[in-house]
Structures are given as C-alpha cells and as structure tokens.
Amino acid sequence: MNVLIVYAHPDPNSLNAALKHYAIQRLQTAGHAVQVSDLYAMEWNAKLAASEIPKLENHRADILREQEKLLWADTVIFQFPLWWFSMPAIMKGWVERVYTLGFGYGVGEHSDVRWGDRYGEGTLTGKRAMLMVTAGGWESHYSPRGINGAVDELLFPIHHGILYYPGMEVLPPFMVYRTGHMDDARYAAICEELGQRLDTLATTPPIPFRRQNHGDYDIPVMTLKSEIAPGVEGFKAHLHQPPSLL
C-alpha cells in the first residue's frame, strides 16, 4: 500500500517527530511505500494567492506535486499537534491550496438527484485517511461531557469537511492526550498502540458518515429527509449508526 503522511510540526526533536519516525519505520517494515510531506521542513507556502482562486491554469508546481502525492496514496495520514482545537495553520494552508477547484471541490455535475461528487464521492474516492493527533489536554477533557468538547465533534469539520468531502473514507483518529506527562514507558506503550493502528489501516472500519447522493438528503436543499434520524440534529445526524456511537 502507498501511504502519504502530511505532517506539521516545526521541531525535529518533538514528540510528533519521534512518532512520525516510528510510523515511517513501522509502515516500511510492513512493506508499504511511504512519502512524507513535512510542511515546515518544506517551507510550505500556506497562503492562498488571489490568482489561485479558483483558476485551474494558475496552479503552481508545489500544489501539483502535493496533488500527485494524494493521487499516488492509498492511505493519507495527517499528523499534527492540536493547536487551538484544530490543525496548525500551515496544514490548513496546505488544504486550502492543494484542494483546488476540480480536485478538492467543484467535482461532478449537479442534477435533481445528484449534488456533484462530494461527501464520500470525488477525486479521492477509494482512499482512506486517518488523523494522528497529539493534545496537551487530558482524555477526559475531550470526553462527551468534557470541558473541551467531545473530540469527535471537534474533529468533525476535518473528518467530514476536509477528508470525507473529496471522497476519502475516514478512520477513527489516533489520539495522544496529556502530552506533558510523557516518560519512556508511556512513549513505548503509545508506539505499540500506534503500531497496531498502522498494521490495520486497510481493515479498520471507517467512521460511518452518510453519503449525500444515496437517498438520505433532500436535493438540492441538502438537509436530511424528515424520516432519517428524526429528532437528531448537528454532527451526529450525519452518521449512519445510532448517535451514541459518535
């Protein structure tokens, strides 16, 4: 399998750097081909230029290289420290520039029964994606009643709006909480857990997001049909399974 790791951390001696190194070795040892987009090391230009919205002919070489890597990959891992409840700005800028019109969005035709190719359909259909995230906060702070908000809800805009939108199946995230409390034993346990997730990338069931063109939504208003998950609102409503699984 071909695995692309899109990685954002500025410090080559960080916990994230160590986990990236571990992940590459684990994947390669298992026989997978790995490419890494190390955004800080690449000095990735995170600023979308006026000329890049939304003209296909103005795509720069750096954008095309990243799009080729995405097309090459069977699985894409986005690895980052949680900064202000989301991905670092440099990675958001990668998404904004690489997901061009006709590639990341604006794919497919609209009709009375179809709203283009997105949310499970699109350029990246057939690929899998997984977030690999470190957070300073405790796991309980991100639990369903935790002060920071439930982690699945915080990550919904990335999972659903960035990964599922252009067609990728989204695996449950690999999370490392309470990073300030790290010692060698905990680090080794985290690597083991990460290794299990990497070994099962191809078989882990994805988050069961609904597909937009398969009967659950009224087109073109794109709201859930009244008979689908009645009474359920917000992020949970866009999952097939009962909302308790979110």
In this complex, which beta carbon is closest to ligand FAD, that of residue 71 or of residue 189?
189
Instruction: Find the binder of ligand FAD among 23, 81, 236, 239 (CB under 6 A).
Output: 81
**For residue 206, what are the CA distances in angstroms to 64, 127, 128, 170, 181?**
28, 11, 8, 5, 30
16 lies in the binding site for ligand FAD (CB under 6 A): yes
CA gyration radius, the chain: 18
79 lies in the binding site for ligand FAD (CB under 6 A): no
In this complex, which beta carbon is closest to ligand FAD, that of residue 84 or of residue 231?
84
25 lies in the binding site for ligand FAD (CB under 6 A): no
- Give the HSE-up count for residue 120: Cα atoms under 13 Å, Cβ half-sphere: 14
20 lies in the binding site for ligand FAD (CB under 6 A): no
Distance (Å, rounded) from C-alpha 149 to C-alpha 157?
Answer: 13
Instruction: Find the binder of ligand FAD among 134, 163, 210, 217 (CB under 6 A).
Output: 134
14 lies in the binding site for ligand FAD (CB under 6 A): yes
**Among the residue ranges 83-91, 99-107, 112-120, 199-207, the one whose residues contact ligand FAD (CB under 6 A):** 83-91
Query: Residues binding ligand FAD: what is the number (CB under 6 A)?
Result: 18
Instruction: Find the binder of ligand FAD among 3, 7, 8, 9 (CB under 6 A).
Output: 9
Q: Give residues in contact with ligand FAD (CB under 6 A).
A: 9, 14-16, 18, 81-85, 134-137, 179, 182, 184, 187
